[in-house]
A = this chain, B = another copy of it.
Amino acid sequence: MKKVAIIGLGVIGGSLGMALGATGRYHVIGIDRDPEALRMAAETGAAAEVTGDACTGVRQADVVFLAVPVTAIMEMAEVIKDSLPPRAVVTDVGSTKRLVVETLEKYFSGRFVGGHPMTGSEIRGIRGADQYLFENAVYVLTPDSRTDTQALEMVRAVVEDTGARVLCVSPEEHDLMVAAVSHLPHLLAVSLMNLAAGVAAEHPETLTLAAGGFRDLTRIASSHSSMWRDVYATNRRNIVEVSRRLRSYLKTIEESLLREDFDAVVAEMQRARRERERIPLRTRGLLPAIYEVMVTIPDRPGSIAEVSTAIAAEGLNIVDIEIVRVREGDGGTLRVAFKKSEEADLAQRVLKERGFVARRR
């Protein structure tokens, strides 16, 4: 049984504990200064033992996860540095890497491996923790020239046991990549929201016009500003770089529009579409092709039960389900997805036999 100490029992720390504990191969020691987090960690199985004292907690650890905010990482490193067993390996989960790796290599040298799970939860704290948080998620490790190979392999093995898929890149490369795919989207969501609010100041109904899509696009603008402050503070140069590139791109599009060169604009749209198809479909472990049935359901207790029971009676497994629209008191559309086309066909047939309006998508 490997001993894993997790400092910081928030969403990430809590989920790590749950995932590793569930394998039966890890003894998880949960460490937090909040007694409530310790209690919940013990209760939910996120940790086999808990303590408020980090030095005690890491004393026998094989691997230590620093799952605290980036700004607290240095403080924690200072606290535990003399309490670790000589062969212990340390890793973190911060969303920027270059600064963190630089700092923690001062404390732990090659025994520190930078890490960043590309996943999370809208809920803060251990209430958002989930045993399956890392399933099929990408988990980046950022070894550099100082990193011990053994330390890297140890962290890799533990991370893979949570269900995650490990990707190794340098700390600098990581920071530019996340600036493009994570930080810039956040900046754009904030900018778009504030721009729309500016238009709404002169044209009051603007936000009413914002269909479901706008609200979804700007969802990330509502996330926790303290975490994002750290991100902008530790990755500002890369964020400025990608923001500049974006501005330059927008300017080119504007020029095409002013010239009425719509072909050029369409070419960019088509390029975006092609490129987007290259993003791997990893979420939920679904195969790239999903076979769906759209069912019209009345908005009353029992509708979903009836539909899903009919499907289960055929031995079919629902891989995804979603209410697409609901009219209060009248009904809506339920989207049910299956792994195979034949399964979707059978489900549709069965539901139609029971009087549902059901359509293959």
Contacts and interface: CB of A to CB of B under 8 A. Distances in A.
Nearest to A229: B266
Given A266-B225, A331-B132, A312 B317 contact: no
A246 B181 contact: no
A9 to B, nearest CB: 15
Interface stretch (A62-70, A73-81, A107-115, A271-279): A271-279
Nearest to A319: B326
B245 A258 contact: no
* Most chain B Cβ neighbours within 10 Å, of A229, A265, A324: A265
A130 B163 contact: no
Contact of A309 (B169, B242, B265, B305): B305
Interface in A236-272: 236, 239-240, 242-247, 249-251, 253-254, 257-258, 260, 262, 265-266, 268-272
A220 B192 CA distance: 15
Contact of A326 (B245, B247, B273, B285): B285
B312 A301 contact: yes
A1 interface: no
A33 to B, nearest CB: 23
Given A273-B222, A311-B305, A265 B229 contact: yes
Contact of A217 (B185, B245, B254): B185
Interface string A167-195: 10100010011101110110111111111
A286 to B, nearest CB: 7
A157 interface: no
A56 B122 CA distance: 55
A156 to B, nearest CB: 16
A215 B325 contact: no
A295 to B, nearest CB: 11
Nearest to A206: B177
B273 A301 contact: no
A206 B175 CA distance: 11
A133 interface: yes
Nearest to A170: B203
B203 A269 contact: no
Contacts of A123: 361
Nearest to A207: B279
Nearest to A286: B326
A52 interface: no
* Most chain B Cβ neighbours within 10 Å, of A191, A233, A309, A331: A191
Interface stretch (A86-94, A135-143, A144-152): A135-143
Given A222-B273, A301-B317, A131 B296 contact: yes
A75 to B, nearest CB: 19
Contacts of A321: 304, 321-323
A308 to B, nearest CB: 4
A320 interface: yes
A213 interface: yes
A269 to B, nearest CB: 4
B280 A208 contact: yes
Given A254-B240, A302-B312, A210 B195 contact: no
